[in-house]
Chains A and B, each alone.
Chain A
């Protein structure tokens, strides 16, 4: 009996030393979860680009639980400047009693000035992709104000400013301008050397964040070349034909009509495949309902319906044309997904021209694009009219 017990005792006592020896154990209370990162250019930049990074760190006590919301601020923003993101993060951790943890990072906001620096987005994105604890689904957005300020815009229904922004980027109420971009997607675009769009945020005077439009990122030189807001962003989405929800305002005989888009899509066709004079036709089809009408026409008549459709078509054409001119002639950067169309449907031609598509020779800006719009009013609304003609 005694002989049998001894080895057991020895083994168990050795295990005592091994069991607590988990090197990587960090208690959840000791972790500082970084929820968002904002990146600006530091004020006093000499020759080198100095990055100013703000981290939003969650304060769990302020967050509370769903039944007992905490009191006080639920976040802490810390700003430091430096040359490398990783280095700044280390600096910030000197101001923080807990160990920083990036696994729940959800948002990277860049200021416009920063994104306009050539190649900078690609440089800073590297750390967010290379670090194995980072996820590829981190949202990326640009802002035309100081990125740092967005992280302190508090809203009433949510404790964390960053979560509010992430939710805003994800939901599709703002469909026509919707363009969520994730760090993984951006890496894909950078690797395939294609231009891309990022959501553009801004702060309104009454201290709320607004989803303003999109920022156009060019490849070669890799930087932000311009922004599309309101109508232009809508126009782009009409051309691309994805998530075309939202509204269009047109005038019929001087009276305003608001159309709500139920369904929409667009189709690209290549009509001239000579690479120096490429020509595309874009057919946009929209199915709409009428939501607001200031006039008194009877929508249950065929010719009235036609008239409404014509006006809508004219309006959509105008909007898309404006967006097209801005993107194709001014920015000369393909964020209209013609590259994707060519890749899938005309792969031979695409392999030939892809290195000179929207840079170098820039076949994109030399191409000719025709836009056709077809609309269909499907639902006139619950009531024909709410007031009589002429008062």
Chain B
């Protein structure tokens, strides 16, 4: 099999702008309205989405800025210069693990969700392996190709979500939204916390920024990309609450999917919007799985420069498949997701703080080339 070769493996800062939302929008959007509705009253959860969003935008900036201080350097090389080689290697291994776990989680979620809503009798394992094989195909090719796929899919994701919300205007009820600001302060704090967890995946910036040609624009572009996610989440949350009401949103496992099911578009063919919806969301999950897999390969290759890319793919994919098959019921799956969303905050958060502190201690500019 021969793969198409792009001129070089370099990308532009616009590609980062697209990659960030493609990475962040995945499974979380299906169920975050439910967890958020638990802690806030009526539609007040939007405050949480917004504050959580602002926090994550700041965090994105911090990570992107740090990575862009070291243009064309891999994570391993610039973190080695800051925190010594052994520590940097440990951190890199942790990122490899995290990438594997995220990819495994996406694979297992896709098999569970599609089993629930689409194929009742097809075994999980078959759905998972089919999906994983496509992911494997995507990551074995050129890295620039991954960014091009994002450019192709992301507009569709926004378009379909927009359409979905537009068509659900009919089902919205004012009494589900009013009154505003009745939640107590503890509810807002929990809501902020819950929704911040739904925005995970900033960690890829540590690695992908090294591929960017016009690196000085990266922080602002990454922040801009992240703000799309915040806006999308805000609208998704408000739509779910306005259509279902807070009490019902709380008990529906995947409110956003249920929303797609309740929307009926007159005219027969498009009446069942969820079929289109699923196609699009599987691509959203696909881009996330693909990028986290790719980041693990990238991190692994930086540790072992002689490692062939295809060998890395063939080593990692059975591991991903195995981990994806570990959670064997819905409770395990939820636990898996929860732990992972903590992990995707703690690891990049810790690394960002550590590297920034070391950067400040070592006097910054001296290290830059």
The residues of A with any CB-CB pair to B shorter than 8 Å are 21-24, 103, 132-133, 135-137, 184, 187-188, 191-192, 340, 343-345, 347
Q: Which of B94-102, B120-128, B353-361 forms part of the interface with chain A?
A: B120-128
Whether the Cβ atoms of A22 and B122 lie closer than 8 Å is yes
Q: Quick check: is B201 within 8 A (CB to CB) of the other chain?
A: no
Q: Which of B116, B118, B247, B251 has the most CB of A within 10 A?
A: B247
Interface 9-residue window, one of B159-167, B174-182, B328-336:
B174-182
Report yes or no: A135 in contact with B179, Cβ–Cβ below 8 A. no
Q: From A345, which residue of chain B is reached at the shortest CB distance?
A: B179
Among B10-18, B49-57, B256-264, the one that faces the other chain is: B256-264
Contact flag A187-B248 (CB < 8 Å), given A23-B123, A24-B120, A344-B179: yes
Chain A min CB distance to B248 (Å): 5
Partner of A137 from B174, B244, B245, B264 at Cβ < 8 Å: B264
Cβ contact within 8 Å between B175 and A340: yes
> Which residues in B have their C-beta under 8 angstroms from that of A21?
126
Residues in A with CB closer than 8 Å to B314 are: none
Q: Does B117 contact A (CB under 8 A)?
A: yes
Contact, CB under 8 Å: A135 / B121? no
Q: Which residues of chain B from 79 to 130 have any CB-CB distance to chain A below 8 Å in the complex?
A: 116-123, 126
| A14 CB, nearest partner CB in chain B, Å | 13
Write out the residue numbers on chain A whose beta carbons fall within 8 Å of the beta carbon of B247.
188, 191-192
Q: What's the least CB distance linking B1 to chain A, in Å?
A: 10
Q: A23-B119, A132-B117, A136-B262 are in contact. Are A192 and B179 (CB under 8 A)?
A: no
Given contacts A184-B244, A191-B248, 8 further A-B contacts (CB under 8 A): A22-B122, A23-B119, A135-B261, A135-B264, A136-B258, A136-B262, A343-B178, A344-B175
A344, B245: Cα distance in complex, Å:
13
**Complex Cα gap A188–B251 (Å):** 10
Name the B residues within 8 Å of A187 (CB-CB). Answer: 248
Whole-angstrom distance between the alpha carbons of A343 and B262 in the complex? 25
Q: Is the CB of A23 within 8 A of B262?
A: no
Q: Which chain A residues border B120 with CB–CB below 8 Å?
A: 24
Contact indicator A135/B262 (Cβ below 8 Å): yes
* Nearest CB in chain B: distance from A272 CB, A: 20
B262 touches A344 (CB 8 A): no
Per-residue 0/1 for B228-266: is the Cβ within 8 Å of any A Cβ (1 yes, 0 no)?
000000000000000011011001000000100110100
Contact of B245 with A188 in the complex, beta carbons under 8 Å: yes
Q: How far is the CB of B297 from chain A (nearest CB, A)?
A: 24
With contact pairs A184-B248, A184-B262 given, residues A344 and B178 touching in the complex (Cβ less than 8 Å): yes
Residues in A whose Cβ lies below 8 Å from that of B121:
23-24
Cα–Cα, bound, A107→B364 (Å): 69
The docked-state distance in angstroms from the alpha carbon of A137 to that of B247 is 18
B251 touches A343 (CB 8 A): no
Q: Are A343 and B117 in contact (CB under 8 A)?
A: no
Kindly list chain A residues whose C-beta atoms are within 8 Å of the C-beta of B258.
136
Residues of chain A within 8 A of B244, CB atoms compared: 184, 188
For B116, the chain A residues whose CB sits under 8 A away are 132
| Residues of the A chain whose Cβ atoms lie less than 8 Å from the Cβ of B264 | 135, 137
Q: Which of B248-306 contact A (CB under 8 A)?
A: 248, 251, 258, 261-262, 264, 272
Q: Which residues of B contact A137 (CB under 8 A)?
A: 262, 264
- How far apart are the CA atoms of A344 and B176 in the complex, in Å? 9
In Å, the complex CA distance between A343 and B246 comes to 13
Chain B residues with CB below 8 A from A24, complex form: 118-122
* Chain A: minimal CB distance from B227 (Å): 32
Interface centre among A21, A24, A132 (most CB of B within 10 A): A132
Given the complex of chains A and B, what is the CA–CA distance between A344 and B120 in angstroms? 42
In order of increasing CB-CB distance, the 8 nearest A-B pairs are A23-B122, A23-B121, A136-B262, A24-B119, A191-B247, A344-B178, A347-B179, A188-B248
Q: In this complex, which of A21, A103, A184 has the most chain B Cβ atoms within 10 angstroms of its Cβ?
A: A184
Knowing A132-B116, A137-B262, A191-B248 are in contact, say whether A343-B122 is a contact too (CB < 8 A): no
Which residues of chain B are near A23, meaning CB under 8 Å?
119, 121-123, 126
Residue of B nearest to A183 (CB): B262
CA distance A43 to B275 in the complex (A): 42
Q: Would you give the shortest CB distance from A370 to chain B, in whole angstroms?
A: 23
Q: Which residue of B lies closest to A350 (CB)?
A: B179
**How near does chain A come to B38, taking the closest CB pair, in angstroms?**
13
Q: Are A343 and B261 in contact (CB-based, < 8 A)?
A: no
B260 to chain A, nearest CB (A): 10
How far, in angstroms, from A340 to B262 measured CA to CA in the complex?
23
Contact B179 A191 (CB under 8 A): no
Residues on B with beta carbons closer than 8 Å to the beta carbon of A132? 116-117
Residue with the greatest number of chain A CB neighbours at <10 A, chosen from B120, B126, B261: B261
Complex Cα distance, B103 from A370, in Å, reads 63
Task: Report the separation of the CA atoms of residues A115 and B34 in the bound assembly, to the nearest whole angstrom.
Answer: 30
State A184–B264 Cα separation when bound (angstroms).
14
**In the complex, chain A residues whose CB is within 8 Å of the CB of B261:** 135-136
CA distance A347 to B121 in the complex (A): 48
CB pair A343–B245 under 8 Å, yes or no, is: no
Q: What CA separation (Å) do A343 and B180 show in the bound complex? A: 11
10 A-B pairs with C-beta separation under 8 A? A22-B122, A23-B119, A132-B117, A135-B261, A136-B258, A188-B248, A191-B245, A191-B248, A343-B179, A347-B179
Question: How far does the alpha carbon of A347 sit from the alpha carbon of B44 in the complex, in Å?
Answer: 14
Give CA–CA (A271, B122) in the complex, Å: 61
In the bound complex, how far is the Cα of B272 from the Cα of A353, in angstroms?
Answer: 41
| Cα–Cα distance between A136 and B240 once the two chains are bound (Å) | 13
Chain B positions within 8 Å of A22 at CB level: 122
